[in-house]
Copies of this chain bind each other. A is one copy, B any other.
Amino acid sequence: MKLRSSEASASNSSQNIIESKEKLKAFLKKKGFKSTRQRDIIVTEFLKSREHVTAEELYNRINKKYKEIGFTTVYRTLKLLAESGLAAEQIFADNLMRYEPLSEEEHHDHLICVHCGSITEFENPKMERLQKNIANEFGFYIVNHKMEFYGYCRRCRGSARTLS
């Protein structure tokens, strides 16, 4: 089991940021889009965060330093990142569109605490295999999947007395 929780080490992050920014630049060029100061700032902040952010959350964070960057541009840049394959769009139980940095082909699933809201990511090879087997039984070709566990994380499991 490969853990990739939000609390995990952030080493190599500056290297990853540079790499990702290069990828975005290539994507922009290929599509005839332009590189701008705003996009650069937004992408940098987004990749630094390494969280599942909504457009509004990222905008608020950016707005503290860069008053002149508008919500719409943050929103559009996140969409652009999703198109270019550098971010994944995900909707959890709160029904807000969230974005997370995505490198290469990795796919991970989520443990979401309904008490504190923490999101822990994990990858599990057994799970991947089982999913493929199930799909095969139905003649189904999986392009993408979504798996979320909602419940109580280790910390909240102890403190929440409301467990039924």
Contacts and interface: CB of A to CB of B under 8 A. Distances in A.
Chain A interface: which size bin?
35 or more
B153 A149 contact: no
Copies of the protein in its oligomer: 2
A154 interface: yes
B140 A154 contact: yes
Interface stretch (A8-16, A19-27, A130-138): A130-138
Nearest to A124: B134
A145 B109 CA distance: 11
Nearest to A97: B95
Nearest to A163: B141
A126 interface: yes
Contacts of A139: 153-154, 157
Interface in A47-102: 91, 95, 97
